[in-house]
């Protein structure tokens, strides 16, 4: 069967360094076009990555008859517009997370793609990695008993005012950029949607973006808690606790494609001094390559497409977390100099 022919909207770093090379290495995919705002830069990137067509605009990529699907790594506030325009052009869409800045926008994107008969997927690449598939199976099989709670942390340091992640109007901030992973993995592990959320937000006093956000998601059978930050020492971790065991995912998000990864499963022993821990080691795997291969399989009808509910729910919960943080902020608003929320 013919390869799925990809076009890329923008020359963003994540595309250049991770996603496009993975797509080019993936079975059943090829990258045939890229578009950007700067024609000279776009041509340079196309040459560096051996992409045949370098277009001077995103619209030109959508108009390219050789393009079947588009990958959208644009800034967050442009996801909805260009996903809908891609759907109108009859292109399948792999859109970077977070899918949208509002649940209403996410629903419009889902509806536009459904009406056009094209596939839409939010690019949560981590879920395709073998280590995560094993962790999910361990939970669902009852290997650690009943799931009780999930704890996750994701952080890095970036105080560059010009960086898109520090621009509020462009959808910057910790929760949208990296906290969305914690929301998604919590829903994935519980296999459910939270019934209630609470949150605390610290915002940069100048830019207004959230730089530390903590949240709790209450599910029917347990809860998940997380903290994400763009002003902390870089770190990431996920711990999953059940009634008879626990799972630690050593590198949960930025999983290196060129080295083995580990999942630690503890069930028994006498923790914390002498826990009975089994180390599951996984051969190197490129989660971006697997994502591209599975997306192509969905387009070919060989795998099920993501449900509309799954596509929209993360955005709804992020909205609820921001709203919950704003609600808890109100009693403290009288204190001058307090920048804990907006």
CA dihedral in degrees (133, 135, 140, 142; nearest 10)? Answer: 150
Please tell me the chain's helix, strand, coil percentages from 3-state DSSP, rounded to the nearest 5: 40, 30, 35
Give the CA-trace dihedral at 83, 111, 92, 256, to 10 degrees. 70
Distance, CA of 179 to CA of 324 (rounded, Å): 15
Alpha-carbon torsion, ordered 201, 205, 206, 210, to 10 deg? -10
Q: Within the chain, what is the greatest distance between any pair of CA atoms? A: 64
Pick from 258, 319, 335, 307: nearest CA to 119: 307
Catalytic residue among 13, 91, 97, 330: 97
Strand partners, 138: none
Query: What is the spatial distance between Cα 310 and Cα 17, in angstroms, rounded to a whole number?
Result: 28
Do 162 and 155 form a contact (C-beta atoms < 8 A)? no
- CA dist 187 and 206 (Å) reads 33
Q: Find out whether 87 and 113 touch, Cβ atoms under 8 Å.
A: yes
The answer to whether the beta carbons of residues 126 and 185 sit under 8 Å apart is yes
Q: How far apart are CA 333 and CA 78, in angstroms?
A: 32
Rounded Cα distance, 293 and 3, in Å = 10
User: 110 near 99, Cβ under 8 Å?
Assistant: no
Asked about 330 being catalytic, the answer comes back as no
Catalytic residue annotation:
97
């Amino acid at each position: 069967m013919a390869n799925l022919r990809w076009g890329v909207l923008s020359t963003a770093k994540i595309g250049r360094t991770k996603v496009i090379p993975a797509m080019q290495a993936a079975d059943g995919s090829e990258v045939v076009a890229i578009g950007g705002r700067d024609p000279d830069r776009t041509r340079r990137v196309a040459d560096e990555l051996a992409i045949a067509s370098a277009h001077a605009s995103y619209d030109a990529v959508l108009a390219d008859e050789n393009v079947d699907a588009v990958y959208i790594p644009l800034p967050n506030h442009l996801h909805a517009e260009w996903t809908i325009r891609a759907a109108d052009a009859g292109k399948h869409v792999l859109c970077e997370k977070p899918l949208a800045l509002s649940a209403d926008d996410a629903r419009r994107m889902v509806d536009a793609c459904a009406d056009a008969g094209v596939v839409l997927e939010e690019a949560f690449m981590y879920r395709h990695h073998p280590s995560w598939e094993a962790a999910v199976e361990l939970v669902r099989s009852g290997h650690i008993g009943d799931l009780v709670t999930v704890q996750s942390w994701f952080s890095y340091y970036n105080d560059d005012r010009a960086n898109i992640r520090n621009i509020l109007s462009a959808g910057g901030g910790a929760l949208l950029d990296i906290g969305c992973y914690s929301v998604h993995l919590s829903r994935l592990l519980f296999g459910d949607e939270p019934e209630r959320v609470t949150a605390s937000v610290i915002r940069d006093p100048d830019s207004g973006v959230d730089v530390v956000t903590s949240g709790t998601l209450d599910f029917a059978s347990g809860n998940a808690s997380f903290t994400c930050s763009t002003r902390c020492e870089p770190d990431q971790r996920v711990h999953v606790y059940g009634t008879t065991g626990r799972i630690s995912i050593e590198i949960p998000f930025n999983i290196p494609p060129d080295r083995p990864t580990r999942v630690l499963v503890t069930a028994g022993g006498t923790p914390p001094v002498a826990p009975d821990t089994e180390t599951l080691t996984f051969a190197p795997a490129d989660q971006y390559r697997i994502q591209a291969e599975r997306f192509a399989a969905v387009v070919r009808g060989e795998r099920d497409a993501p449900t509309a509910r799954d596509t929209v729910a993360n955005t709804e919960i992020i909205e609820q977390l921001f709203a919950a943080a704003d609600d808890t902020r109100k009693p403290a608003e009288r204190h001058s100099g307090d920048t804990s929320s907006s």
